[in-house]
Amino acid sequence: MATKTLCVGLIGCGNVVSYGHRPALTTLPDVELVALADITPERRTIGQAWFGLSDANLYADYKDVIARRDVEAVVVTVPQQFRRQIVLDAFAAGKHVLSEKPISDTPAVAAELCAAAETAGVTFGMVHNYHFFPEYRLIKRLIESGEVGDLRVLTMNYLGVIDNPGAAEYKADWRHKMGAGGGVLMDMIHAVYLAEWLAGEEASQVNAFVDAPTYAHRQPEVEDLALLQVAFPSSYALINMGWGQGVGGVDVSGSGGQIRMRYKAYQTSGFNQPIELYSVKDWRRTDYAIPNLPEHGDNIARSFTELWADFRDAIREKRDPIAPARAGERALHLALAGYLSATIGRTVTLPLPEGNPVYQQGINGMAGVNAWDQSHTRSAGLFGLNG
């Protein structure tokens, strides 16, 4: 019996579609993009060329995509502050949803969306495509096999994140605005969900420093540097994140060994090829080959294709995808707890309580907390704080 094709609607046609969703949706034989919505005419035209759609399958209003009976699932790639109603409308129409990260800009909305999906009985997955990078899958396998003994500390350096602009036809600098829900940490929340996945536990505490330089020509709204200490029930993680030219790489320290992964020229994860991944146990080194493709863009495309295949299978098998929405909700809590810790100068426990202004409003709620006088986040004037 032939396998039924999963018909997909795309809502939002930003740059992530070009290098991620486009390769997946044009190569998987049983997943087909049949409709596209974007508020910007120029982006609709670009998407039409990418997917070979007719004019009749292009829409300015996302509701027209959701209303189509042939659309079984939608992928939502609009900026996070605009996703809530789109995702809720999709659930109400019985559609499965794959959402770009982060899940939302506020934990309150994230909780609402997760509950709505569970009530509707549909699959709700996140674009956490770093799960499918072979180097992280290998690190996960080595940890689970006991290669390092009991996990003690994950050190994740992402200090050389490339500051790629958004689509020029929309707003190229939208990731640097309050509406993005945060700066580099929110943009590269990949490290946050990977830390929980590799640790195999949910985070319980966060302590952080968050900063950005004040330039003569602009006052930053969000951070370009975030340094987080994360406690899990049985281990710890250090997540160091920055836009710029800093070092990258991942180290795993355990009771009985270590794992080290480095990219070419110590670049940040996801932006170049790893030149080494090895473990050390009893003072003996074991090197591992990484099945990466020659070009970085090809590796990104492959990760999206594998993520889409997992999402498709999750729908068919009525199971959670590798990155369920609840994982996206926890990652959002952790990132915002980092912002909150840096602002108040204290360790923050997880999950954030519903009564906290940051739970209800994301970074917009930072003005409602008692900022520490010596907080670098406050002195930089980030998140609407008065420096």
Q: pLDDT per residue over 267-286, tens digit each?
A: 987 666 788 999 999 999 99
**Shared-domain flag, residues 110 and 135:** no
**Residue of 15 and 260 predicted with greater confidence:** 260
- Predicted local confidence at residue 172, as pLDDT: 57
pLDDT of 190-215, one tens digit each?
999 999 999 999 999 999 999 997 65
Among residues 347, 299, 331, 20, which one has the least CA distance to residue 197? 331
Instruction: Tell me the pLDDT band of 184, cut-offs 50, 70 and 90.
Output: very high
**What is the tens place of the pLDDT at every residue in 320-345?**
999 999 999 999 999 999 999 999 99
Which pTM does this prediction carry?
Answer: 0.95
Q: Are residues 245 and 269 in the same domain?
A: yes
For residues 97 and 170, state if they share a domain. no
Pairwise CA distance, residues 78 & 220, whole Å: 23
Smallest CA-to-CA distance from 262 within 137, 149, 192, 158 is with 158
Range of the domain at 24: 6-128+301-323
At position 189, the amino acid (one-letter code) is I
Q: Is residue 373 part of a domain?
A: yes
* DSSP summary character for residue 302: H
Banded model confidence at residue 2, pLDDT cuts 50, 70, 90: low
H or E stretch at 62: helix 62-66
**Which pLDDT does position 273 carry in this prediction?**
77
Report the CATH number at residue 377: 3.30.360.10
Task: Report the pLDDT value the prediction gives residue 271, as an integer from 0 to 100.
Answer: 61
Residues 265 and 387 in one domain: yes
Label residue 293 left, alpha or beta by phi (over 0 means left) and psi (-120 to 50 means alpha): beta
Name the helix (H) or strand (E) containing 234: none
Radius of gyration, alpha carbons of the chain: 21
Q: What pLDDT shows up at residue 294?
A: 83
Residue 145, token pair as written in the block? 């096999």
Q: Across all residues in the chain, what is the average pLDDT?
A: 94
End-to-end CA distance of the chain: 65
**What would the mean pLDDT of 137-164 be, rounded to a whole number?**
95
Q: What are phi and psi of 175, to 5 degrees?
A: -70, -15
Q: Does residue 347 contact residue 205 with C-beta atoms inside 8 Å?
A: yes
Q: In this structure, are 266 and 351 located in the same domain? A: yes
206 and 283 share one domain: yes
- 272 compared with 90, residue with greater pLDDT: 90
Residues 6 or more apart whose CB falls under 8 angstroms from that of 297 comprise 19
Note whether 199 and 144 are same-domain residues.
yes
Q: Which residue has the higher pLDDT, 114 or 264?
A: 114
Q: Is residue 1 part of a domain?
A: no
Q: CB burial class (10 A; 0-12, 13-18, 19+) of residue 375?
A: buried
What is the distance, to the nearest Å, from the Cα of residue 361 to the centroid of all Cα atoms in its chain? 19
For residues 288 and 311, state if they share a domain: no
Q: Which residues contact 133 (CB under 8 A, 6 or more apart)?
A: 269, 270, 299, 303
Average pLDDT over residues 59-76: 98
Tell me the residue type at 222: V
pLDDT of residue 88: 98
pLDDT digits over 290-320, tens only? Answer: 988 888 889 999 999 999 999 999 999 999 9
- How confident is the model at residue 165, as a pLDDT? 62
Name the CA dihedral angle for 243, 246, 250, 254, rounded to a multiple of 10 degrees: -120
| Mean pLDDT confidence for 105-118 | 98
> Who wins on pLDDT, 168 or 295?
295
Residue 268 lies in a domain: yes
Whole-number Å distance between alpha carbons of 343 and 369: 8
Rounded CA-CA distance 122/226 in Å is 35
Question: How many domains are contained in the chain?
Answer: 2
Stretch 362-374: mean pLDDT, rounded?
96
Whether residues 310 and 237 fall in one domain:
no
Would you say residue 218 lies in a domain?
yes
Q: Is residue 24 part of a domain?
A: yes
Q: Do residues 369 and 244 both lie within one domain?
A: yes
Residue 146: the pLDDT is: 97
3-state secondary structure of 106: coil
User: How far apart (Å, rounded) are the C-alpha atoms in residues 24 and 372?
Assistant: 46
Distance CA 366, CA 343 (A): 8
> Is the same domain home to 102 and 188?
no
Q: What average pLDDT does this structure show over 52-79?
A: 97
CA distance 8 to 288: 38
Residue 48 has pLDDT above 80, yes or no: yes
Q: Find the CATH number of the domain harbouring 52.
A: 3.40.50.720
- The C-alpha atoms of residue 369 and residue 371 are separated, in whole angstroms, by 6
pLDDT band at 171 (very low <50, low <70, confident <90, very high): low
- What are the beta bridge partners of residue 241? 158, 226
